[in-house]
Homo-oligomer: A and B are copies of this chain.
Amino acid sequence: MYNIKERDIDLCMHKGVVWIITVGNELLIGRVVNTNAAWLAGKLTFLGYLVKRILVVPDDEDDIVESFRDGLKRADVVISTGGLGPTPDDITNLAFCKALGVEPVVNEEALKMVKEKYETRGYPLTPERVKMAKMPPGARPLPNPVGTAPGILYEAEDKIAVLLPGVPREMEAIFESYVEPLLKSRGPPIYFAEKALVVKGAPEADVAPIIREVLKLDPRVYVKSHPKGYEVEAPFLYIHIYASATKLQDAENLVNIALDKLIQLLKTRFGEKIQISIETGR
């Protein structure tokens, strides 16, 4: 069995805390489910970052300004989605400037990107289109391979802010092309691994002391049960085990050790009464 000796990093203290700010009234009236936040959170976790907050805020300047200010104070990386397009309520780039206390400027490189997109079809450069090229001085536009509004990258004093469009396929394309490589090179040297256990026949409240026992193994391991059945009548648990470590091998070993321990304790406690199966991957 792999021997875990090193506790070389306090994962709670590591550089690489992220806040995700998702902007849009459609999320606050329940019209749209926030799949953007989940997608980004998954990506960031596997990149070794620790997502500490996801915020959903309305298309309102004060709310957006406030959340950027909070995020830049509390996190190392702030990533927003939504509000970069041409409509009147697309104001995230302007609110971000306000949060920084600077006047927005038309970024020439961004303007060129926007112009090229429209000119190919003979569309003129209206004020709505020029707005999409506005950002803080010193920011860098991120090309949008599938849409028109560029993303925005802003770095200052050890902090990184990334503004992405709200359209999922545009957000994902910009993230994968430009943000992921950057965050990978800058991020903490931390790797994430996970497995899940499906357990039928054991009530969550009786599994709780076993999970507490497994959690004692190592502070880098996390185990959480999610009830999917009916606690008393037909208990059915989905137990998620994950770990973060400075080597991928360590993270995977930690997960496997915790998984073995969990299965062993479950079998000792419940014997033949329960059915167990292991799930890997997402």
Which residues in chain A, 67-91, are within 8 Å of chain B measured between CB atoms? 85-89
Copies of this chain, count: 2
* Complex: A212 Cα to B205 Cα, angstroms: 55
Contact A55 B53 (CB under 8 A): yes
Q: Which residues of B contact A15 (CB under 8 A)?
A: none
Q: Does A232 contact B (CB under 8 A)?
A: yes
Q: Which residues of B contact A222 (CB under 8 A)?
A: 25
Contact A146 B29 (CB under 8 A): no
Which residues in chain A, 2-50, are within 8 Å of chain B measured between CB atoms? 25-35, 37-45
How distant is A210 from chain B, measured CB to nearest CB, in Å? 10
Contact A27 B31 (CB under 8 A): no
Contact A31 B211 (CB under 8 A): no
* Complex: A282 Cα to B45 Cα, angstroms: 33
Q: Does A227 contact B (CB under 8 A)?
A: yes
Q: Does A191 contact B (CB under 8 A)?
A: no
Q: Considering the complex of A and B, which 4 residue pairs feature the smallest CB-CB distances, nearest first?
A: A30-B42, A30-B41, A54-B56, A86-B205
The 20 sampled A-B contact pairs (Cβ below 8 Å) are A27-B37, A28-B53, A30-B39, A31-B282, A34-B38, A52-B57, A52-B58, A54-B54, A54-B56, A59-B224, A85-B227, A87-B207, A87-B211, A87-B225, A88-B208, A117-B231, A118-B203, A118-B205, A123-B232, A126-B206
